[in-house]
Amino acid sequence: MAHNPGLDRDSDTVVVEQVRLDTEDNSEPLSEPGKLADRVEGGIDPVAPENEGARGQRRSQDTGPHPMSAPKDETSLFLRLMTPKRCRWDPSAPPGLSMPMAILYALTSTFTVANLYYCQPILNKMAEEFDVSYETSSQVATLLQAGYATGLIFVLPLGDMLRRRPFIIGLIFFTATVWIGSCITKNFTAFRVISFICGITTVTPQLMIPLVGEYAPANKKGFLLSVVTSGLLLGMLIARLLSGVIANYTHWRNIYWLACGVQYFIGTCLFFFMPDYPSTNASLGYLKALWTILCFLATEPLLVQSSLIIYFLLAVFTSFWTTLTFLLASPPYEYNSLVIGLFALLGIAAIVIVPLWGKVIDRFVPLFSILIAEFILLATIIIGTFTGTFTVAGPIIAAVGIDIGIQVAQVANRTAIFAINPKARNRTNTAYMAFAFAGQLSGTAIGNRLYARGGWHWSGGCSIGFVGAAILVALLRGPHEKGWVGWRGGWSIRKQAPAAPAQVSTNAGSDPEKKVAIER
C-alpha cells in the first residue's frame, strides 16, 4: 500500500489535540480562583474529583462572556419584536461599549439611584402632609435604603442568570409604574410600602456597572467604569439639590412626579439604544447563585480584600457627611439648612476628576490607585478633623478629598473584582456591595454616637482609624499575589501582560510529553 503522508499528519494532529485536552483537564487545580464556584454552578460536587463527564460538562460551560449561538429564547418572536433590529444580539459581532453608550448608562445610574435620595431634604414636609412626627417620616428614607439592601442581595445575582436588556428595562418601567403610587397616595403606610418596593428594584446602576466590566475594551475599562460610577455620585447630588429647590417653591410631590417621568424617559432611551446581551450563565439556579456568593468569599482573596477596603472607606464617607451637618449647624458656624445643603456641590470635583483618573487605572494595577486614594483620604481627614472646629476650610478640604478618594477606590476595586470570574460579575458585585452597605451603616451609627459623646474630634478620629485599617488591608496582599497574604509576584505597579497562547507541536515523536507544549 502506498504511503500517504497527509494521513499521517492528520492522525498526528488528532493525537496531539487529544493529549492537549487531557493535559488541560488534568492540570487545573481546584484551588485556582473561581474553580470552586464554577463547579458549584455546574451542579458538580466541589470536593469530589471530576470524572470525564464532569470535565466535559464544565468545558462546555466555560465558553466566556460571548456565546457563539443565541439560546432559544433569544430567537423568540416576542423578544425580536421587543428589540429594535440594531440592538439585537449578533454572536459574530458582539457589541462593544462606546463612549456614548457609557454616558447613557451613567445617566441611567444617575436618575435611578436618585430615587433613594429625593426624600431626604423634604422629610419635614412629608411629616406635615401625612400628619406624623419627624421621627416617623424619617422611616421613608430608612425603608428606601433597606429595600435597596434587599435588592442588592436577592435581585442583583439575577443579572448573571437573565438576559440583561429586558431585565434592566423591565426593572426601570416597573419602578416608574409603582412610583406613581407614591405620587398620589394619601396613606402614609402605603407610601412606606411603596418606598420599600421601589428601593428593592432600584438596583439598576449595580447591573450597569458589571456590563461595563464585561464589554468595555480592555485598554479603556477603568476609564469607562469611572464614567458610569460618576453617574452614581451625580445622582446623589442632583436628587438632594432638585428636591430641596422644587419643594421650596412648589408642592413636594412635584419632585416625585418629575422622578417618575424621568424614569419612563430613561427606560424608553434604553429600549431604543441598549444592545441585547445574552445571559452569562442561563443554566444557573437561583439558590445556587446565592450559594456561590458565599463560595467566592471563601475562595477569592482579592474579592475579600476589595470588600474589606470599601467597608472601611464607606464607613468614613457616611460618618463624615452625617456629622458634618451637626458641626455646621453649631457654633461657630450656625449655618442654615440651605447653606449646609450647598456643601453637596463639592462632589462635582470628584465627578470631574475620577473619569480622568480612570486612564491611570487602565495602565497600572488597581492596588496602586487604591493606595493613592487611601492616602488622599488620610491626609484630608486629618486636616478636616483638627481644623474643622475653627475654620470651614478644613471640612471643605476633607469633603473634596473624601469624595475623590472613595470614588477612585471604587473604580479600582471594581476593575479588580470583575476580572475574577467573567461569568459571575453580578454575584461578585453583590458580595462587594453587601460589604459597602454594611460600611455605610457602621459609619453612620458609630460616627453619630462618637459625635454625641465627644464632638467633631472624636468622630474624626474614628474616621482616621477607619482609613488606617483600609490601608493595612491593602498592604496585606501585593498587586500580583494569588494567595490570602503576601507580596509574591513582585512590587511592579504595571499591569502584567496576558500569558502567551499555548503552542502545540505537530512534528514530535510518539512521546506525548514531546508532542505538547502548554504555557500556563
- DSSP per-residue letters across 250-273: S-THHHHHHHHHHHHHHHHHHHHH
**Average pLDDT in the chain:** 79
H/E element, 516: strand 516-517
Is position 67 within any domain?
no
Is position 85 within any domain?
no
76 pLDDT above the threshold of 70: no
Q: For residue 162, what are the domain limits?
A: 33-40+96-296
Question: Across 409-494, where does the E strand assignment appear?
Answer: none
Half-sphere exposure of 335 toward its Cβ, with a 13 Å CA cutoff? 14
Helices 253-273, 99-113: crossing angle, 10 deg rounding: 150
Residue 39 pLDDT class (50, 70, 90 cuts): very low
**Final residue of a domain: which of 296, 322, 353?**
296
Cis peptide before 395 (omega within 30 of 0): no
What average pLDDT does the segment 85-102 reach? 78
Is position 54 within any domain?
no
**Final residue of a domain: which of 244, 262, 296?**
296
How many structural domains are present in the chain? Answer: 2
Q: Are residues 110 and 248 in the same domain?
A: yes
Q: Are residues 244 and 162 in the same domain?
A: yes
What is the distance between the alpha carbons of residues 108 and 263, in angstroms, rounded to a whole number?
8
5 pLDDT above the threshold of 70: no
Is position 142 within any domain?
yes
Number of helices followed by number of strands (H, E) in the chain: 22, 2
Q: Are residues 428 and 489 in the same domain?
A: yes
89 and 277 in contact (C-beta within 8 Å)? yes
Q: Are residues 284 and 347 in the same domain?
A: no
322-331, 410-419, 427-436, 508-517: the lowest-pLDDT one: 508-517
Q: Which of 153-157, 208-212, 216-220, 330-334 has the highest mean pLDDT?
A: 153-157
Q: Are residues 238 and 339 in the same domain?
A: no
Is position 76 within any domain?
no
**What pLDDT is recorded for position 387?**
93
Q: Are residues 283 and 334 in the same domain?
A: no
What average pLDDT does the segment 393-414 reach? 92
Is position 131 within any domain?
yes
Q: Are residues 155 and 290 in the same domain?
A: yes
Q: Which of 54-68, 123-137, 310-324 has the highest mean pLDDT?
A: 310-324
- Which grid coordinates are listed for 454? 465627644
Is position 514 within any domain?
no
CA-wise closest residue to 241 among 170, 343, 151: 343
Q: Are residues 252 and 342 in the same domain?
A: no
Is position 26 within any domain?
no
Q: Are residues 204 and 151 in the same domain?
A: yes
**What pLDDT is recorded for position 77?**
67
- Which grid coordinates are listed for 166? 429586558
CA-wise closest residue to 427 among 320, 343, 307: 307
**What pLDDT is recorded for position 104?**
94
φ/ψ of 364, rounded to 5, equals -120, 165
pLDDT, tens digit, for every residue of 454-511? 889 999 999 999 999 999 999 999 888 888 988 887 788 777 655 544 444 444 444 4
φ/ψ of 3, rounded to 5, equals -75, 130
What average pLDDT does the segment 154-175 reach? 91
Q: Are residues 260 and 346 in the same domain?
A: no
CATH code, domain carrying 339: 1.20.1250.20
Q: Are residues 353 and 393 in the same domain?
A: yes
What is the distance between the alpha carbons of residues 226 and 234, in angstroms, rounded to a whole number?
12
**What pLDDT is recorded for position 193?**
95
- Which residue has 438632594 as its cell numbers? 240
What is the distance between the alpha carbons of residues 226 and 291, in angstroms, rounded to a whole number?
30
**Final residue of a domain: which of 279, 296, 313?**
296
Strand, coil or helix: what is 420?
coil
**What pLDDT is recorded for position 498?**
54
107 pLDDT above the threshold of 70: yes
What is the distance between the alpha carbons of residues 181 and 197, in angstroms, rounded to a whole number?
11
Q: Are residues 119 and 263 in the same domain?
A: yes
Distance between the two ends of the chain, CA-based, in angstroms? 42
Q: What angle do CA 389, 390, 394 make, to 5 degrees?
A: 75
H/E element, 504: strand 503-504
274 and 88 in contact (C-beta within 8 Å)? no
% pLDDT > 70, the chain: 79
67-81, 167-181, 344-358, 408-422: the lowest-pLDDT one: 67-81
172 and 188 in contact (C-beta within 8 Å)? no
pTM of the model: 0.73
